[in-house]
Amino acid sequence: MTRRLRKQLQPIFEKHTANQIVLIGMGNIDRADDGAGLMIAEALKREHPRSVLSEKDRSVESHVMRLMKNGSVQAVIFIDTAHFMESPGSVRLFTMTSVNQIVPAFSTHQISLSLLMETLVQEGKSVCFVGIQPGTTEMMEEMSREMLSAVEHLIELFHDLFALQKKRKHQEENP
């Protein structure tokens, strides 16, 4: 799971510095597996507070509006659950063009994710969506084992990608 995703995400982290990439964790912690994006963001933002935002703090729409005019941000990675008909805990990277296949125009957000992504693209930002297949999104249920495992792997993956970026920056500054 994470090997393929790492291969897809690594070019983004190689092209941009940590301050140019923003991850936005989305979801609803009261709906079992739907809280995965928030869990990932909360775990990452302690170590990367300038690069990780959470829908827990403010709406994704509000984050996007702020990022639109932020010239230093070049890439935005959304993280949330998505139904793409694979086994629970499966993870896939979706581009601007492929996200429309899995994210409906109507969503629980005020504005659809595809429209938010398109808005950022129009502002010159590169965008992608890390989707995690939920097992259950029932109200007040516990997160599934599969989702907890996926969350753990994604936290580790993003920590590694940020660490590689930091190491590269150090090497460039100290040849």
Strand-by-strand arrangement of the 75-81 sheet:
52-54, 21-25, 75-81, 126-132, 91-94
Is residue 118 within 8 Å of residue 97, measured between CB atoms? no
Q: Mean of the pLDDT values across residues 82-103?
A: 86
Q: Mean of the pLDDT values across residues 61-70?
A: 93
In CATH terms, the superfamily for domain 2-167 is HybD-like (3.40.50.1450)
Q: For the chain, what are the domain ranges?
A: 2-167
Question: What's the pLDDT band for 104 if we cut at 50, 70, 90?
Answer: low
What DSSP string describes 41-80?
Answer: HHHHHTT-TTTEEETTTS-HHHHHHHHHT-TT--EEEEEE
pLDDT of residue 168: 75
Which tops the pLDDT comparison, 126 or 96?
126
In the predicted structure, residue 32 carries a pLDDT above the cut 90: yes
Q: What is the mean pLDDT of the chain?
A: 89
Count of all residues that appear for the chain in the document: 175
Q: Mean of the pLDDT values across residues 13-25?
A: 93
Which tops the pLDDT comparison, 99 or 127?
127
pLDDT of residue 105: 43
Q: How far apart are the first and last CA of the chain?
A: 34
pLDDT of residue 102: 66
Give the global pTM. 0.92
Interhelix angle 36-45/145-173, rounded to 10 degrees, is 30
For 114-149, the pLDDT digits (tens) are: 889 999 999 999 999 999 999 988 899 999 999 999
pLDDT of residue 38: 96
In the predicted structure, residue 95 carries a pLDDT above the cut 70: yes
Q: What is the dihedral of CA 71, 51, 21, 41, to 10 degrees?
A: -130
